[in-house]
Amino acid sequence: MQTELVDRARRGDREAFAVLAGGAVDRLYAIARLILRDTELAEDATQEALVRAWRDLPSLRDVERFDAWLYRLIVRACADIGRHRRRWRAEIAVLRTEPAEPDRTSELADRDQVERGLRRLGDAQRTILTLHFYLGLSPSEAAEALAIPVGTAKSRLHYAIEALRAAIAADERTSSGVLREDRTA
């Protein structure tokens, strides 16, 4: 069904493309939000990816690879938007995120800690984590979406996990420091 729609859209059928876009927009938006951690930028990236998809559809060789191709487009759109964002990232870096509230459940606090750790990572690291842990792509599938060698995808995944581990540890140090300051105040 989808391959037929893709084939029609590839030949310029806007109605077919509207069906495809409607089926993909939420998924692409979710990916963009996880990578960019910003609602408005994710909206921009989603629009950019879908318009690029329409414009470049005739160059898609294998209609069966439409989903993987879309992932590549959303990753690229996020990378482009992320590059512009880095100019002012230093400003938000000094905005300290609030530590987990002590009365929350440990599960929620744990989730918040991972969330804050992810915010400390770069877009490329969040991208590989999103592809692997959210979409469930294998390293070779993620490599295809990112247009990089499989080994590079594996390496990037390894270092992204290590960077997240370090970010969480740094967050714990910051949180405990804040708590100490609160007690002494």
Partner 1 sequence: MTANHDLERRIAAFYATEAPSRAPDWVLASVLTTVDITPQRRALIRVPWRFPPMNTYAKVAVAAVAVIAVGAIGLAVLRPGTSPGVGGQPTASPSLSPSPSASPSASPVPPPALTETFTSERHGFSISYPTGWVARPATEPWTTGIPNFESTDGDVIYDPARDAGHLWIMVASQPQAGKDGVQWVDDALTGLSSAGICEPPLEQVSIDGAQGGMCASSVSAVSAGDRGYLILLYVSGDDPRDAAIYDQEYFKEILATVQVRPEDAVDEAPSASP
Binding site for partner 1 (CB under 8 A): 12, 14, 17-18, 21-22, 25-26, 28-30, 33-34, 42-43, 46-47, 50-51, 54-59, 61, 69, 72, 79, 82-83, 86, 89, 110-111, 114-115, 118, 122-125, 129-130, 133-134, 139, 144, 146-152, 154-159, 161-166, 168
Nearest residue (CB) to partner 1, 5 versus 118: 118
- DSSP state string for the chain: -HHHHHHHHHTT-HHHHHHHHHHHHHHHHHHHHHHH--HHHHHHHHHHHHHHHHHHGGG-S-GGGHHHHHHHHHHHHHHHHHHHHGGGHHHHHTSPPPPPPTTS-HHHHHHHHHHHHHHHS-HHHHHHHIIIIIS---HHHHHHHHTS-HHHHHHHHHHHHHHHHHHHHHHHHHHHHHHHHHHH-
What is the closest distance, in whole angstroms, from the C-beta atom of residue 185 to partner 1 in the complex?
Answer: 29
What is the closest distance, in whole angstroms, from the C-beta atom of residue 182 to partner 1 in the complex?
Answer: 26
What is the closest distance, in whole angstroms, from the C-beta atom of residue 139 to partner 1 in the complex?
Answer: 7
